[in-house]
Amino acid sequence: MDRINVLVVGNSGVGKSTLIEAVSGAQIETGVGEASTKNITVYDSTTWPIRFIDTKGFEYSLIEQIKTINQVKKYSKENLTSNDSGIDAVWYCVEGTSRRMFYHNINLMNKLLRGWKNIPIFAVITKSYSLADEKENIEEVSKAFARGKAVNLQRIIPVVAMAYQIDDETIVEPKGIEELCNATIECAPEAKRISKENVARMILLQKRHTANAVNAGATTAAVIVGAVPIPFADSAILVPLETGLTKAILKIYNVNIRGDLVSAIVGSAAITNVARATLSALKTIPNIATSALNAVVAGVFVAALGEAIIALAENIYTGKIDQTKIEEVVKFVESKIKSNVVLQKLVRYMGDNSENLKDKAPKEIYDNVVKEITDGKKEN
């Protein structure tokens, strides 16, 4: 399948790199265009048939912007052959939290991309954390683009590329990524060869990647929370974090979030007992401080919960599990946590390596434990 070449532009700090990374593990394609275009970095998505041409430092200086555009044109001519310009679509990023700059930024965009008047342009409103501001942001961006009639604006899409944690229980989950990628490939000639099954597969993989990123953030937070001198398995200290994580993952998969469903999962005694039993077993290990043990168990347990919720959400999304059958849902999550490899091997690994882990910071111990156990799982 041919890749769609997408030019990503926007001012520094607007979130271009975060957006590219969020599109299902986009990875750098080394050695492409390096000799003649030092400010161009190329990434391929591991899920979508999209190649990103990332412009570095699209600044307010008109001279610097012209330099960037000329570099992209030179790169296109030397490295891309998909069409006359080498660019199939443009993602122009404006920051949702800086509305006052919309007109200035988009006016420059209109002027500088006149040479690519037939290429689909997608206005990406990054950092769209506030639903209250979203409608007004779209209207303002639309008005700003209306001044440049030569630009082929296709869609204005608000995006949250990385989960934004407001407090323990409130996470603004990533959004807009699937919509943006889908709309982009639909505009390209290559889209005709992408079957509905392939698109469905891409969307599911994107959801999984996004959910894993949310889980990673919550796990890091759990390690920090777990390090406080309170045995988390005997308190409600992680409940807000677990609740926020569960809601965020379910929302990514478009699952109707019912309060009784989330409460049943987070409040399951069987699930909590897994963490309590793990912590009790670890307390017999010498050399490692209690705060470190709490932090490691908190991190591993929340990671295991997140993985279980992702598996649950995928099964609900694909119609394999009925979310209204709460007892069935809870049992599914319980079984996934109990069979989690890292939780199973945690006590043994820390017992065998307690001397090496002594005096290390909780986060360092957690990272070391997870890396060693998961690497061992891959080898087996």
CB 87 within 8 A of CB 228: no
Lowest mean pLDDT among 182-191, 283-292, 305-314: 283-292
Contacts of 36 (CB under 8 A, 6+ apart): 74, 75, 78
Q: Which domains does the chain have, with CATH numbers?
A: 4-194 (3.40.50.300), 210-379 (no CATH)
**What pLDDT shows up at residue 111?**
64
Assign 37 a pLDDT band (cuts: 50, 70, 90): very low
Report pLDDT digits (tens) over 51-105: 898 876 555 566 776 777 777 777 767 766 544 457 788 898 888 877 666 666 6
CB 174 within 8 A of CB 209: no
Lowest mean pLDDT among 8-22, 151-165, 268-282: 268-282
The model's pTM is 0.82
**What pLDDT shows up at residue 178?**
93
Q: Of the spans 13-22, 129-138, 175-184, 215-224, which averages the highest pLDDT?
A: 175-184
Lowest mean pLDDT among 32-46, 66-80, 192-206, 293-307: 32-46
- Strands 4-10, 89-95: parallel, antiparallel or unpaired by DSSP? parallel
Assign 210 a pLDDT band (cuts: 50, 70, 90): very high
DSSP 98: -
**What pLDDT shows up at residue 57?**
58
Mean pLDDT of the chain: 80
The mean per-residue pLDDT over the stretch 279-283 comes to 77
Q: To the nearest 5 percent, what fractions of the chain are helix, strand and coil?
A: 55, 10, 30
DSSP string, 234-284: GSSTTHHHHHHHHHHHHHHTT----HHHHHHHHT-HHHHHHHHHHHHHHTT
| 4: enclosing H helix or E strand | strand 4-10
Q: How many angstroms separate the Cα of 84 from the Cα of each of 76, 77, 78, 89, 115? A: 9, 8, 12, 13, 11
The mean per-residue pLDDT over the stretch 235-260 comes to 85
With pLDDT > 70 as the criterion, what percentage of the chain qualifies? 80
CA-based R_g, the chain, Å: 24
Q: Is the pLDDT of residue 213 over 70?
A: yes
Residue owning tokens 């988009």 = 106
Dihedral over alpha carbons 173, 178, 180, 183 (to 10 degrees): -160
List phi, psi (to 5°) of 121. -110, 130
Report pLDDT digits (tens) over 352-361: 888 887 777 7
131-146 and 102-112 are packed helices; what angle lies between their axes, rounded to 10 degrees?
40
Assign 30 a pLDDT band (cuts: 50, 70, 90): very low
Q: Is the pLDDT of residue 34 over 60?
A: no
Query: CA 300: distance to chain centroid?
Result: 20
More confident residue, 68 or 129: 129
